[in-house]
Amino acid sequence: MISEFTRYQKGISVETLFPTSLEKKCACGCGMQLIGRKKKWYSRDCQQKSLQMFYIIKGDTQVIRELVFKRDQGFCYSCGVFDENWQADHILPVYKGGGAKGLENFQTLCPYCHKNKTKLDRIPYCLDIHTTSVNIFHSPLERFRAFHKSTVKDVIGY
């Protein structure tokens, strides 16, 4: 039901991600034993963290933007400049399997750097053939440099 190649996970529920444990353990995975009348979560904190994770994985734009802003304050991860029109970028693009991931796969980019990164993301094969050291987790700036190196190599023929 969960696809890493889709931006929005449709039809998933909290139960899908955090099934109620038959052994009366907290569904968040913290390992705490449920006591008294508790049915699913050990603490309110466990519940809130899990619900937040659920919305992020589901692809809820509003929740994701709120949390990314709380963390990055609108500063572009690539050029370091604050931009009020900042965008939340999937570091590993959705079409490469970057969907249904936690907040660690999101970064703030200004519209300019976002456009550049999107352009570079679309030419992965060219990069992969010529520079084996380039991988998807490099920053957009590194990828930009790597790309120019590879086009130079193409032109001079080695």
110 or 134, CB closer to Zn ion?
110
Could you tell me which residues come within 8 angstroms of residue 61 by beta carbon, excluding any fewer than 6 positions away? 88
Q: What is the DSSP string of 111-139?
A: HHHHHHHHHHHT-HHHHHHH-TT--TTS-
> Smallest distance from the beta carbon of 149 to Zn ion, in angstroms?
21
> Smallest distance from the beta carbon of 83 to Zn ion, in angstroms?
7
Give the H/E segment covering residue 147: helix 140-156
CA–CA distance from 66 to each of 9, 32, 106, 137, 141 (Å)?
19, 29, 12, 23, 25
Give me 68's structure tokens.
């990314």
50 or 150, CB closer to Zn ion?
50
12 or 79, CB closer to Zn ion?
79
99 or 146, CB closer to Zn ion?
146
> Smallest distance from the beta carbon of 47 to Zn ion, in angstroms?
8
> Smallest distance from the beta carbon of 51 to Zn ion, in angstroms?
12
Which positions lie near Zn ion, rule CB under 5 A? 26, 28, 30, 42, 46, 76, 78-79, 110, 113
| Cα angle, residue 89 at apex, residues 101 and 92 outer, rounded to 5° | 50
Q: Name the residue among 118, 20, 92, 104 with its Cα closest to residue 56.
A: 104
> Smallest distance from the beta carbon of 63 to Zn ion, in angstroms?
20
24 or 153, CB closer to Zn ion?
24
